[in-house]
Structure 1
């Protein structure tokens, strides 16, 4: 979906912007939160209830240890601008995730494909936030049958752009304002084979020897090859037809594919995820559901320059060598 503006300079000139990630209109994504992960840097969450956050299990669990992580987690709510003095920080009192096997290799695999729910300590009154919190509808039974080339959107704080490079030093730029990008559902075999192979390799490095189940995966791609969600977007929702249909939950494979313009998104219709989602579905209480076109129209604000942080954000999974947008 493009945005066009008319500028009057003696004549009417139409300028159409492409599908680069946009800064959404203020308050257009009141269901998004973020938090600092000890394992993945900045992670993203989606409100599926005013006190329940949907995110990626790998952001809150250590795949290499059976000992529960008891260090506190605070999510930042009520703002789409990342700054220490913006938003309301809320303590997480409980983490819910699918029951994990005791075998570390199988545990690592299931964490890579699983969502998690974070229970917030309290409900935040609208008067305390610059963006009042609203929960988004979730397709936890995977009822939506998505068509090829269907346009969906992903939301996060970082995108890799065409011609960017990934270097051996694990550093990348995050943006302060949240961004929304429109992506198309495409064939897994055509556009995500390389990424699925990288995901299999990353799981093998964690000791998992089984096959990768692709039945619950969606391959999405920016057809203009302008950018794609990557670091700082783990836990990001894929929103189609006004509902959350999947989550970016497998970062070990995505890291070396940030310049490939394709992403693997996991849905909720595979065991043990489907059993877990059914168990916790009573917690979901959506306040926002509209058709996709209405949601898109509500996103657009004036176009602006990208607001990169002056400092680099590091301590993410290391890579060997470099990859570029010409890799795929």
Structure 2
């Protein structure tokens, strides 16, 4: 019988050598080596070879959990489940139960507990750092998120000249509820490195300059003009870390709006009319009051005429006075 146990132990060790990764499972992530050894000692005693065989059986019972992936936010809940499992095994060991059966039952209970955990959200292509899809991998005890690029593909936006151009900085995956910010940039053409390159449909950040007046998840240009054509970039950040970078290439087409065309035609007609009918300067013809208040405006002819007029008025006044005096004294 002792020889049979030795052969079984040898076969078990050989299996572990052939499949060493099988020892890495959820059990190894949430139950320490000391805890496992302590449980085995409670089952089989303090002999080292018996404890080793017990520990190997313990790990093999949880082999089916090797490829388990759980929602990263459920780590604490799974850790609590393993803690309860350890207490249950210790109680079974104190009750002199059989460890192989106890390990098998504990593994089945853990599978059921894992199925009750919140599922891992699926990755939403084509881009973005999707933190809410982070999962915990039992095979190695590490976390992982979707392997998608930060930069999203460029979206083409075409509007008629004079219309409104609108860009929505939204993604198809769920963002964290707090500490989300947006920043906008614009690439019209050229860069500091290659200023002569007319490339405007680009994802090269060296071409972009900040748009400090653009805030929030929606940006509008109204009315859109050819000068607004180019690539617009919106960066979504959680705290200070970028979550996604979206690109919009704006193409402004079509003739100017009718109102603008009519205004230009009217302006050209006004300019043409002013050229055909130049302004004519009319001579100044002052009145008598203006001449009297502005002596500097009198010519020599005006002075002579004024002097003659004064002389006639003085002579007339003299004759009237003489005639009055003669009439008055003739009655005495």
Higher percent of residues as strand: 1
Indicate the structure (1 or 2) with the bigger Cα radius of gyration.
Answer: 2
With CA pairs under 8 Å and 6+ residues apart, which has the higher RCO, 1 or 2?
A: 1
With the length of structure 1 as denominator, give the TM-score of the two structures.
Answer: 0.19
Higher percent of residues as helix: 2
With the length of structure 2 as denominator, give the TM-score of the two structures.
Answer: 0.19
